[in-house]
C-alpha cells in the first residue's frame, strides 16, 4: 500500500507570457540527470500564429534546469522544427542516455490539420544535451511516446512506443534492435509492424479504454517499473485520464509481473481540472531520488507537475497486491443472524465497537424479517470470539423520525458508531422511517450504565438537518477549539461541522465543510462515507472510510487528518486497504460489501469490525504502526 503526494510547488513549469515559444502552454515534462543537475525537456506551445496559411499553436521542445527536480529555471527553446516530417511541430519529448549519447524521442507532426498519417515518432541525438547533432524520422506509421530502455537487455536495445494512437485501437508495444541505427531504419519498422501483434504489451483494459506510454522505464531490483497513461472511456465525452504503473520482467519486459489495481493519480487539483484541455493528467517522465519515485506529468495540456511516492511500498504492492492492508482473523464470520430471534433473524451487520473494562463491546445493526433495524449487543474478551450476546435489542426505534411508516419497508436505527468523551458514550446512528430522508441521530449513555448493561439511553435527537439525506455520522473523540465536531455524509461526500453543544443546534445552518470527495475512475469513485471514529496518533487522526466504485463494490481506505484541525487531510491511501473477498462478503442482502462502523486498538493493533454483504459481522486487523506508515510514506 502506498500514498502518492503531489508537490506543494505544482505546477513546476507554466506558460510564460514573456517568452513567445511557451506563451500558450508548457507541459508533459521529461527529466534526465545531466551531471549534477536535472534537466527537464517539455512540450512548449506558442500562442496561435499563422504558418503555411494555417492558424495554430506551434509545439517545440523546451528545456529547463534544476538542482532538486522541482524548482526549474532558465527555460529556453531547445529543439525546433527543421525537417519536412516535423514542420508542424514537435511534441512530448522523452530522453534516454545510452552509449554516451542522449536519444530524445518526440512526436513529429508533418500535416495540418493533424491526422494519423502525419503523426509519427522522430528522434534527436545529442552528446551533451546542449547541441543536437542529428535528427531522424523513426516510424513510418502512426505512433507516439517512444522511449528507450536505459540499458541493453539480453544484448539488445529495447524501446517502448505507443502505436496507432490516432488510428485506434492504440497499443503499447516493445521493439528490439541489434544496432542503434535500426531505430530509424524503415525496413526494420515495416517488418516489425507486420508482426505487431507479437510485440504488444498485453495490459488489461476494456475495449473502450486507451493506454499510452508515459515515462522511460526505471530499473529496480524487482523488475522494470513502467508508468503509463490509462484513459478510460476514451471514445466518449466522459474520458477519465489516469496514471497507472506496471512491473515488467527484467529480462523479458513483455512479461507483466504486476499492475496497480487502478489509477494512482487522477485529475483532482484545480491545475489538473482547468486549463487548455480540462481534466487531464498525463505521465511523461519519472526519476528516482533516494527512496522516492518522482512522477512528472502534464496537467490539462497547460503546465508541468510532479508527484512522489515511496518506491519500496509501490514495488511491494505491484509484486504482492494483496499482502498489504487488513487481515481477516476468523475462519468464518464472527457471528451471524440467530434465525429463531425475530429482531435479528434477517441480518446482523455494520457493528460499532469500543474497548472498555478489558472487553470489546460490539453494538451491531440487526434486522427483522419486516426490515426493521435495531441495535444488538455482543461482548468479547479477546475481541474475536463471542462470549455474551443479548437476547433483546439494547436500543430500538422510539421517535417518529425512526418509527416504521411504510409496512415492510426499511426503517429504524441503522449503522451505530460510538465515541466516548469523558465518562459519556455517545452513539450516532442513521434514523429512518421510510418516508423522510435518513438523518443522523444522537443518543448517549453513561460509561457506568453501559458497563453494567443498564441500557438507560438518553432521548435521541436529530443532529443533522431534517429533509436532507444525511448518513454515516460520528462524533470526533475530542472537542476542537472548544466545540464538538461531527463527521457526516452529504451528497456522497464526507463533511464536517461544529456544534456549540452535542445536540448541534446549528444543524439547520451547517456549512457541510468538505473533508473527502469521491475520486472519478478509482475504487472510491461513486461515493465515500465515514467508517469508524478517528484513531489518534502522534502524527494525526487516522480515519477509516468506505468507498464505493462505479460497479458498486464497497471497500475500505484511510486518511490522515491534522491533529488540531480535522477538516485538513494530510494524506490519503491511493489504493484500498480492504475489499470483499469471501463468499459472505460478496453475496448477501447487498453484494460486494465490507462496511466497518467500529474499531478498537489493543496492544498496537487495530481491530476493525465490519458488516459483510449487509448480512453478517466479522473482524480484521492491521498493526497501527503499519497503518500509520502507509499514510506517512
- Nearest Cα neighbor of 245 from 307, 301, 314 is 314
- Nearest Cα neighbor of 212 from 234, 191, 194, 185 is 234
Q: 17: pLDDT confidence band, cut at 50, 70 and 90?
A: confident
The per-residue pLDDT for range 571-581, each reduced to its tens digit, is 999 999 999 99
Which secondary structure element, helix H or strand E, spans residue 194, and what is its range? helix 186-194
Q: Print burial letters for 412-427: b (CB count within 10 Å at least 16), e (below 16).
A: bbbbbbbbbeeeebbb
- Backbone phi and psi for residue 118, each to the nearest 5 degrees, phi listed first: -110, 15
- Nearest Cα neighbor of 416 from 376, 458, 371 is 376
Within 10 angstroms of residue 619's Cβ, the number of other Cβ atoms is: 26
Determine the Cα–Cα distance for residues 124 and 272; give it in Å rounded to an integer. 30
SS3 content of the chain, % helix, strand, coil (to 5): 10, 45, 45
CATH code, 339-632: 2.115.10.20
- C-alpha distances out from residue 283 to 286, 307, 432, 484, 557, Å: 8, 10, 46, 43, 25
What lies within 8 Å, CB to CB, of 581 at 6+ separation is: none
User: Quick one: pLDDT at residue 51?
Assistant: 82
User: Quick one: pLDDT at residue 324?
Assistant: 74
User: Quick one: pLDDT at residue 16?
Assistant: 92
Place of cell 504503473: 245
The per-residue pLDDT for range 24-62, each reduced to its tens digit, is 999 999 999 999 999 999 999 999 988 888 888 999 999
The mean pLDDT value of the chain amounts to: 96
Domain spans of the chain? 5-318, 339-632
- Does position 323 have pLDDT exceeding 80, yes or no? no
- Residues pairing with 516 in the sheet: 494
- Nearest Cα neighbor of 271 from 19, 14, 569, 518 is 14
- Nearest Cα neighbor of 43 from 127, 133, 87, 105 is 105
- Does position 584 have pLDDT exceeding 80, yes or no? yes
Peptide bond into 11 cis (omega under 30): yes
What lies within 8 Å, CB to CB, of 458 at 6+ separation is: 443, 444, 445
CATH code, 5-318: 2.115.10.20
Q: Work out the percent of the chain whose per-residue pLDDT is above 70.
A: 100
Q: Print burial letters for 572-611: b (CB count within 10 Å at least 16), e (below 16).
A: bbbbbbbbbeeeebbebeeebbbbbbbbbeeeebbbbbbb
DSSP at 442: E
Determine the Cα–Cα distance for residues 89 and 25; give it in Å rounded to an integer. 14
Peptide bond into 113 cis (omega under 30): yes
Determine the Cα–Cα distance for residues 460 and 265; give it in Å rounded to an integer. 42
Least confident among 188-202, 216-230, 310-324, 430-444: 310-324
Give helix then strand counts, H and E, for the chain: 6, 43
Contact 578, 556 (CB under 8 A): yes
Determine the Cα–Cα distance for residues 74 and 427; give it in Å rounded to an integer. 59
User: Quick one: pLDDT at residue 451?
Assistant: 98
User: Quick one: pLDDT at residue 321?
Assistant: 77
Place of cell 531490483: 221
- Residues pairing with 37 in the sheet: 34
Determine the Cα–Cα distance for residues 150 and 167; give it in Å rounded to an integer. 29
CA angle 240, 245, 251 (to 5 degrees): 145
Task: Identify the three-state secondary structure at position 191.
Answer: helix
The per-residue pLDDT for range 477-513, each reduced to its tens digit, is 999 999 999 999 999 999 999 999 999 999 999 999 9
The per-residue pLDDT for range 470-479, each reduced to its tens digit, is 999 999 999 9
- C-alpha distances out from residue 15 to 31, 43, 272, Å: 18, 10, 15
Amino acid at each position: 500500500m502506498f500514498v502518492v503526494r503531489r508537490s506543494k510547488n505544482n505546477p513546476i513549469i507554466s506558460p510564460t507570457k514573456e517568452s513567445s515559444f511557451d506563451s500558450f502552454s508548457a507541459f508533459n515534462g521529461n527529466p534526465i540527470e545531466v551531471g549534477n543537475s536535472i534537466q527537464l525537456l517539455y512540450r512548449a506551445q506558442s500562442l496561435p500564429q499563422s504558418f503555411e496559411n494555417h492558424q495554430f499553436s506551434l509545439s517545440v521542445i523546451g528545456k529547463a534546469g534544476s538542482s532538486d527536480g522541482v524548482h526549474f529555471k532558465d527555460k529556453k527553446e531547445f529543439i525546433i522544427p527543421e525537417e519536412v516530417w516535423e514542420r508542424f511541430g514537435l511534441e512530448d519529448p522523452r530522453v534516454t542516455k545510452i552509449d554516451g549519447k542522449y536519444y530524445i524521442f518526440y512526436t513529429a507532426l508533418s500535416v495540418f490539420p493533424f491526422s494519423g498519417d502525419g503523426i509519427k515518432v522522430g528522434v534527436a541525438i545529442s552528446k551533451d544535451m546542449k547541441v543536437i547533432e542529428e535528427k531522424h524520422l523513426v516510424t513510418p506509421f502512426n505512433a507516439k511516446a517512444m522511449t528507450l530502455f536505459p540499458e541493453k537487455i539480453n544484448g539488445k536495445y529495447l524501446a517502448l512506443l505507443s502505436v496507432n494512437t490516432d488510428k485506434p485501437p492504440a497499443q503499447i508495444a516493445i521493439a528490439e534492435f541489434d544496432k542503434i541505427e535500426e531505430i530509424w531504419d524503415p525496413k526494420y519498422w515495416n517488418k516489425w509492424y507486420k508482426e505487431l501483434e507479437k510485440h504488444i504489451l498485453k495490459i488489461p483494459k476494456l475495449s473502450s479504454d486507451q493506454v499510452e506510454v508515459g515515462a522511460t522505464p526505471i530499473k529496480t531490483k524487482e523488475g522494470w517499473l513502467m508508468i503509463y497513461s490509462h484513459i478510460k472511456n476514451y471514445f466518449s465525452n466522459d474520458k477519465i485520464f489516469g496514471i497507472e504503473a506496471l512491473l515488467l520482467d527484467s529480462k523479458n519486459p513483455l512479461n507483466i509481473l504486476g499492475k496497480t489495481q487502478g489509477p494512482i493519480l487522477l485529475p483532482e487539483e484545480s491545475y489538473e481540472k482547468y486549463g487548455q484541455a480540462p481534466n487531464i493528467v498525463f505521465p511523461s517522465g519519472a526519476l528516482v531520488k533516494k527512496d522516492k519515485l518522482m512522477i512528472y506529468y502534464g496537467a490539462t495540456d497547460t503546465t508541468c507537475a510532479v508527484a512522489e511516492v515511496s518506491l519500496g511500498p509501490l514495488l511491494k504492492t505491484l509484486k504482492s497486491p494483496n499482502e498489504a492492508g487488513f487481515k481477516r482473523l476468523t475462519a468464518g464470520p464472527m457471528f451471524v443472524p440467530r434465525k429463531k430471534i425475530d429482531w435479528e433473524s434477517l441480518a446482523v451487520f455494520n457493528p460499532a465497537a469500543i474497548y472498555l473494562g478489558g472487553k470489546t463491546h460490539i453494538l451491531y445493526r440487526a434486522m427483522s424479517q419486516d426490515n426493521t433495524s435495531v441495535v444488538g449487543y455482543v461482548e468479547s474478551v479477546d475481541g474475536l470470539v463471542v462470549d455474551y450476546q443479548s437476547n433483546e435489542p439494547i436500543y430500538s426505534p422510539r421517535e417518529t423520525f425512526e418509527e416504521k411508516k411504510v409496512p415492510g419497508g426499511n426503517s429504524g436505527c441503522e449503522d451505530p458508531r460510538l465515541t466516548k468523551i469523558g465518562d459519556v458514550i455517545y452513539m450516532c446512528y442513521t434514523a429512518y422511517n421510510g418516508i423522510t430522508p435518513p438523518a443522523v441521530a444522537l443518543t448517549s449513555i453513561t460509561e457506568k450504565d453501559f458497563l453494567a448493561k443498564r441500557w438507560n439511553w438518553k432521548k435521541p435527537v436529530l443532529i443533522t438537518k431534517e429533509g436532507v439525506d444525511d448518513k454515516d455520522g460520528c462524533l470526533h473523540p475530542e472537542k476542537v477549539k472548544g466545540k464538538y465536531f461531527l463527521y457526516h455524509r452529504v451528497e456522497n461526500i464526507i463533511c464536517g461541522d461544529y456544534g456549540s453543544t452535542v445536540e448541534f443546534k446549528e444543524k439547520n445552518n451547517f456549512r457541510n465543510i468538505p473533508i473527502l470527495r469521491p475520486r472519478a475512475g478509482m475504487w472510491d469513485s461513486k461515493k465515500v462515507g465515514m467508517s469508524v471514529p478517528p484513531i489518534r496518533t502522534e502524527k494525526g487522526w487516522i480515519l477509516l472510510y468506505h468507498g464505493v466504485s462505479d460497479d458498486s463494490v464497497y471497500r475500505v481506505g484511510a486518511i490522515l487528518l491534522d491533529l488540531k484541525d480535522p477538516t485538513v487531510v494530510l494524506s490519503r491511501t491511493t489504493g484500498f486497504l480492504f475489499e470483499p473477498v469471501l463468499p459472505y462478503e460478496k453475496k448477501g442482502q447487498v453484494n460486494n460489501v465490507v462496511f466497518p462502523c467500529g474499531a478498537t486498538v489493543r496492544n498496537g493493533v487495530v481491530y476493525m469490525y465490519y458488516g459483510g454483504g449487509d448480512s453478517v459481522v466479522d473482524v480484521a486487523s492491521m498493526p497501527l504502526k503499519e497503518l500509520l506508515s502507509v499514510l506517512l510514506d
